[in-house]
Structure 1
Amino acid sequence: MLTRLDLHYFKCFELLRLPLGHLTLLSGANASGKSSVLQALVLLHQTMREHEWSTRLMLNGEAIKLGTVSDVVDKVHGRKGLSIGVIDHNKTYSWSFSGERSELSMAVDYVMVDQDRIDQPERLRHLLLPELITSLANRLKNLTYVTAERIGPREVYALEDRQIASVVGPAGEHVVSVLHWGRDEPVLDGLVIQDVINKRLHQVEARMRMFFPGCGLEVQQVPRVNAVTLGLRTSDATDFHRPIHVGFGLTQVLPIVIAALSATEEDILLIENPEVHLHPAGQVFMGQFLAEIASVGIQVIVETHSDHVLNGIRRFVKSGQIQPEQVALHFFRSSSSIDIAQVVSPQIDARGNINSWPDGFFDQFDKDMNYFAGWD
């Protein structure tokens, strides 16, 4: 499991050493750096997945497009370089990258594994020396990244080859292909809903029913066309409908559910704004669901603006199904002030209580209530 992410001169961070848990929640103001944390891991993933033998960090690809070197190097303190590091199973990996500010990729200046440093490497595989490939490379290469801009309902969905559609895709663009090809695959034992057949399609449908009572799924391949249709219903008493007729909520949650139930132990899931188009009660359940995923050994890093998602996580901690030390909470603040820490990390206890609530940390409801009560 990744236990820390280090960023140096990456975007808005001069230096960041961020502890990671089985479940890590990133919160804070807009443009405070939350997405940058995810993007750093996605850049490693993108390079490893799309450019196996590259000695350059690819800033633009299928997963993410970040522009030029000038867009990703900290403009205040950095010049032409940045570094990304992780601690995984007590082993430290770090990469230093540099490039001209107008370039679309960055050369690897050095790779360091613990105390072993290789400068100007001439040959890399998955950004590591070929003889040093570890499980970290495989997990980063195969991580799932789900952005906030997930695709909405479609008439038909492209049917991709398994090699392409191995994960749901940043916008959920491969979600129906993943479900189609893996419909009969079992899910992790710890995530199985009892009394439901342990096949992915049945388990996904059962999970969706917990968000949307009565939800049903039907996936059918279009004859002689590389396409599939997705049928949805909200009651056992109705026929299956085209996705456009059942609202955006279902199609926004579906990629997250399928990504989770397609994962294996120690896989990494990066999820932005899982609360999109969800009723507050559904957002609470989403928090509980994310905590449940993490409790079975899948690492989840989630960015959210929802106090309901946070409360769902707190409820799952209080239930005893995940230990408080397995949950990391981080609140990001604007880097414009040198007088305050850029990241504050409140702690959660076994009863789901949080030890500190810095200004701006999911406190808007209280501020509004105080205003209406005349206390502000």
Structure 2
Amino acid sequence: MFTKLRIKNFKAWGEQLWDPGIELAPVTLLLGTNSSGKTSLLQVPLLLGQTFGSTDRSLDLNLGGQKGDLLDLGGYEDVIHGHDGSLDMGFGLSIKDQEPGSKRPSVFTYTVQYRRAGTIPVVAELEYREAASIYAASRQSKGGYRLQAPGYEPEVIGGRPVARRTFQPERSLTLSADALAELGEAGSRVQDLALATTRQVLERVAYLGPLRESPERSYLWGRQTPGSLGPRGQRAVHALLASANSRKKCRDEQEGGRGWLVERVSEWLKRIGVADGLELERQGRSRYFEVVLTTRAQRANIVDVGFGVSQVLPMIVLAYFVPRGTVIIAEQPEIHLHPSAQVGLAELMVEVARERQVQFIVETHSEHLFRRLQFLIADGKTRPEDCRMYFAEPGDDGRAELRPLEVDPYGRIANWPDRFFGDAVGETERQMRAMVRRMKAQQSGGRRG
């Protein structure tokens, strides 16, 4: 789980969120106007994960552009704030990690900063902080890296601690083999922290983008369980087929097993009001399957029902497909949904976060989803500290601004932003004025006649 995110000089964000950071909760909503920097916040763990997973160990930051990359952000001057290549850029994540077999989670902070060297970004500083212990590698003026760790006393040459190019960090994640050997016992702890960061950022983050795959009349399935649903949710049906045909028996009060995922998804489709159930039907003896939805005793192929069903399906599947402890990053999960169905997404996130310890970091424009979260807080189904909400907006100086919404135990917002969801009051006032103006005009015309 991520408990805090930090960002410096990345796209619309300057340095205002570097020191305080952004507190994250089991459910975190990012609201605000278009082009206000919300997506850039979501891209931080995705960009780091893309870098950690690179096969090029010498690459400091993988901004994308190759086949298989999730993000393609261009060059350093495309992503640095104000396109000012002289600035340093930085990211940070505070992580609560439950190591396999451990009784207590470890809590630590990972930060990395970059500066431009020629035309490419290089690590200026990599740091792991655990309680009062700091493990770091800092780039010096001649390109060497100086190390810091508890109990480590560096060699001093010419009155300065030694800095070597061979200590350069790898993939913004860990120290080089030479640096780890130099640190001795502290180097082992750096490896442990790097492994925990990899586990959380690379293996426990699932992303669902704002554009979903269109539904198909039939799906070819090769009897494989997908490793992920994909950024467009394109393998959601394959995950359902794997569940329906699993050899593992479904046991009470245990996750997984034959049909478990299909049952959870069917339940939520009914709860949010878009279908009464979902079935998977094989076409003869082929490898093709249909997704059939039932609604008020009527059965129809997913292609023949409202488009919103196919668009929300990946979000529901993802909530139960991912392992416990996963972080789901989603953009506009409410897309193409009727307002009455959008409120169900709030209930889905709150319940899954509580029952499966899945964290949701979501960008949304849905007033209905937001309002239902307020109700769930007021109703005691969740707490303000378990459901953080932020409002992003462009500032006058070109920097994005992020306002934490202050929510009390009854779901009330103390610092309601101007035109939070448009100008509903103003639109009503303008409608009334137009109505009065036309009625007067009609009355005047009638008298003249």
Q: TM-score band, normalised by the shorter chain? A: 0.7 to 0.9
Normalising by structure 2, report the TM-score: 0.72
Q: Aligned partners of 2:264 and 2:344: how far apart in 1?
A: 16
C-alpha displacement of 1:70: 2.0
SS in 1 for 2:353: helix
Q: Aligned partners of 2:254 and 2:243: how far apart in 1?
A: 18
2:127 is the alignment partner of 1:118: no
Q: Aligned partners of 2:281 and 2:11: how far apart in 1?
A: 41
Of the structure 1 ranges 268-277 and 228-237, higher mean CA displacement relative to structure 2 is found in 228-237
CA distances 1:146-170 after superposition (whole Å, capped 9, x unpaired):
111111112444657968x322111
2:24 is the alignment partner of 1:20: yes
C-alpha displacement of 1:131: 4.5
Structure 1's unaligned 5+ residue stretches are none
The residue aligned with 1:7 is: 7
The residue aligned with 1:85 is: 92
CA RMSD, Structure 1 to Structure 2 (Å): 3.3
The correspondence of residues 127-166 of structure 1 with structure 2, limited to 5 A, is 127-129=173-175, 130-142=191-203, 143-157=205-219, 159=221, 165-166=226-227
CA distances 1:98-154 after superposition (whole Å, capped 9, x unpaired):
446865xx4333320012112455464782344433433212113111111111112
C-alpha displacement of 1:253: 0.6
Tell me which amino acid in the other structure corresponds to 1:11.
K
Distance change >3 Å, CA 231–CA 358, structure 1 → 2: same
The residue aligned with 2:270 is: 209
The residue aligned with 1:65 is: 72
Choose which of 286, 290, 293 in structure 2 pairs with 1:233. Answer: 293
Distance change >3 Å, CA 51–CA 258, structure 1 → 2: farther
Contact kept, 8 Å, 1:9 with 1:78, in 2: the verdict is no
Contact kept, 8 Å, 1:180 with 1:219, in 2: the verdict is no
Distance change >3 Å, CA 8–CA 314, structure 1 → 2: same
CA distances 1:227-248 after superposition (whole Å, capped 9, x unpaired):
x53412233734441x321121
Distance change >3 Å, CA 55–CA 258, structure 1 → 2: same
Q: Aligned partners of 1:279 and 1:148: how far apart in 2?
A: 16
Of the structure 1 ranges 137-146 and 271-280, higher mean CA displacement relative to structure 2 is found in 137-146
Q: Aligned partners of 2:271 and 2:309: how far apart in 1?
A: 11
Distance change >3 Å, CA 315–CA 215, structure 1 → 2: same
Q: Aligned partners of 2:222 and 2:234: how far apart in 1?
A: 10
Distance change >3 Å, CA 232–CA 71, structure 1 → 2: farther
C-alpha displacement of 1:373: 3.8
Flag the structure with larger Rg: 2
C-alpha displacement of 1:301: 0.5
Contact kept, 8 Å, 1:55 with 1:123, in 2: the verdict is no
Distance change >3 Å, CA 124–CA 198, structure 1 → 2: same
Distance change >3 Å, CA 180–CA 336, structure 1 → 2: farther
Tell me which amino acid in the other structure corresponds to 1:267.
T
Contact kept, 8 Å, 1:80 with 1:101, in 2: the verdict is no
Q: Aligned partners of 2:342 and 2:118: how far apart in 1?
A: 41
Contact kept, 8 Å, 2:128 with 2:193, in 1: the verdict is no
SS in 2 for 1:169: coil
Structure 2's unaligned 5+ residue stretches are 97-106, 139-144, 146-166, 176-190, 435-449
Q: Aligned partners of 2:237 and 2:90: how far apart in 1?
A: 36
Distance change >3 Å, CA 78–CA 349, structure 1 → 2: farther
2:123 is the alignment partner of 1:108: yes
Q: Aligned partners of 1:5 and 1:91: how far apart in 2?
A: 12
The residue aligned with 2:37 is: 33
The residue aligned with 2:371 is: 311
Contact kept, 8 Å, 1:93 with 1:113, in 2: the verdict is yes
The residue aligned with 2:148 is: none
The residue aligned with 1:255 is: 314
Of the structure 1 ranges 267-276 and 199-208, higher mean CA displacement relative to structure 2 is found in 199-208
Distance change >3 Å, CA 219–CA 48, structure 1 → 2: farther
Contact kept, 8 Å, 1:12 with 1:33, in 2: the verdict is yes
The residue aligned with 2:113 is: 96
2:333 is the alignment partner of 1:274: yes
Of the structure 1 ranges 302-311 and 340-349, higher mean CA displacement relative to structure 2 is found in 340-349
Q: Aligned partners of 1:4 and 1:140: how far apart in 2?
A: 13
Choose which of 303, 317, 325 in structure 1 pairs with 2:385. Answer: 325
Q: Aligned partners of 1:162 and 1:124: how far apart in 2?
A: 34
Distance change >3 Å, CA 109–CA 222, structure 1 → 2: farther
C-alpha displacement of 1:31: 0.5
Contact kept, 8 Å, 1:275 with 1:306, in 2: the verdict is yes
